[in-house]
Amino acid sequence: MFSVQYDKPASQFLKKLAVKADVKRIIKKVEELAENPFPKDVKRVEGYFDVKVFRVRVGNYRILYFVRYEDSTLFVVKIDKRERVY
């Protein structure tokens, strides 16, 4: 099991999201990622050179994250709608 840390853009997006049902779905998916960071629907995101960033889909939203094994942490880099996240 990995601990979860949200970067500032990800946590701000969750605070501003108006539909609370979507917030619950996103948080549930992040909790699932903490247990299994590489489910079958995960894809690697191009353009990040220092770490391997992955994305997972939750409805119309995308969660971008990376895993640091040294301290067993899953970092949620960004959460946003598909057309704005990349």
CATH number for the domain that contains residue 21: 3.30.2310.20
Give the pLDDT confidence of 14-60 residue by residue, as tens digits.
999 989 999 999 999 999 999 999 999 999 999 888 899 999 999 99
- Look at residues 68, 65, 83, 71 and name the one whose alpha carbon lies nearest to residue 10: 65
79 with 12: CB under 8 angstroms? no
Please report the pLDDT score of residue 85 as a whole number: 81
- Is the pLDDT confidence value at 84 over 90? no
Into how many domains does the chain fold? Answer: 1
Please report the pLDDT score of residue 47 as a whole number: 87
User: By residue range, what is the domain housing residue 36?
Assistant: 3-85
